[in-house]
Amino acid sequence: MRIVPIPCLRDNYAYLVICEATRRTAVVDPSESGPVLAALQREGVGLDAIWNTHHHLDHTGGNKELLDAYPELEVIGHVLDQGRIPGQTTFAGDGDEISLGDEVRARIIHNPGHTRGAISYYMPDLAAGRPEGQSEAGTIPSAAAVRPAIRSAIFTGDTLFAGGCGRLFEGTPGQMHASLSRLAELPEHTEVFCGHEYAAVNLRFAAEVEPGSKAVAERRKKVDQVRQNGQPTVPSTIAEERATNPFLRSQVPAVAASAQANESPANNSPVEIFAALRRWRDRF
Ligand code: ZN
Ligand code: FE
């Protein structure tokens, strides 16, 4: 299994998910068709499925033209997005399993908050078939194989971002806080592939929320360097997000104190602190 990030529009990411055994390929959140078609050609694969994380146009804008090129596509989205995702053929719910070729199994996690039909695609146990560090039999490890194999990965759309989270367009702070809390409980090594390149501004905000955090300062430095080199900051890991993403940290006393000083939340509950952080970020 291989994941190929595709920069789209101004700051969106689509992703190819390629089952290397069968060459079957899905695209996550095709904002537009052009860069996706170019990536398919570069990789020498066709397209079998679209995995949409939610209905917003910057995540589904390429659906129609990709369907024109590949009329047999499976188009997956949440059942609540029925009528809002162009060409949708599969109406998924929380806990549903989907598959692609031999290697790829993904579980749907329903994350209401950004929109009511927002979902993540979680792929656990990716290395199950192949012990870590071992390349395919008889082949010499390539440069690409030097990077340790991904053990588990998740596509989070506009729910969990690197260092931040999506705006609350159709959900309550309580819903979004619960959605993010579920993602925070995934195994710490899980690689997070989100929908937008917002890491730099998100980490600038995180540094304002937790000025004393060494972890935030170090991640911010790393992110700024990566962006200066024109590279994508994805993926991050659940461990990094738990350590530095203020929206996963409303139970941390320093974060709560900071939210109180800036947004006067109604009380000190994690949901109220989360809501205050989100309001603060909206005007940041
Ligand atoms: Zn969105
Ligand atoms: Fe978006």
For 252-264, write each residue's pLDDT tens digit. 999 999 999 999 9
- Please report the pLDDT score of residue 147 as a whole number: 54
Q: Which domain holds residue 227?
A: 2-282
For 166-198, write each residue's pLDDT tens digit. 999 999 999 999 999 999 999 999 999 999 999
CA of 146 to the centre of ligand 2 (A): 32
- Please report the pLDDT score of residue 119 as a whole number: 98
Catalytic residue among 56, 78, 110, 177: 56
Counted domains in the chain: 1
CA distance linking residue 165 with residue 185, whole number of Å: 16
pTM greater than 0.85 (yes/no): yes
CA of 236 to the centre of ligand 1 (A): 19
Known catalytic membership, residue 114: yes
- Please report the pLDDT score of residue 125 as a whole number: 77
- Please report the pLDDT score of residue 148 as a whole number: 63
CATH number at residue 161: 3.60.15.10
Instruction: Count CB atoms within 10 A of the CB of residue 35.
Output: 17
Instruction: Count CB atoms within 10 A of the CB of residue 278.
Output: 23
Known catalytic membership, residue 56: yes
- Please report the pLDDT score of residue 135 as a whole number: 45
For 46-105, write each residue's pLDDT tens digit. 999 999 999 999 999 999 999 999 999 999 999 999 999 999 999 999 999 999 999 899
CA of 131 to the centre of ligand 1 (A): 37
User: Of 154, 158, 84, nearest to 114 (Cα)?
Assistant: 158
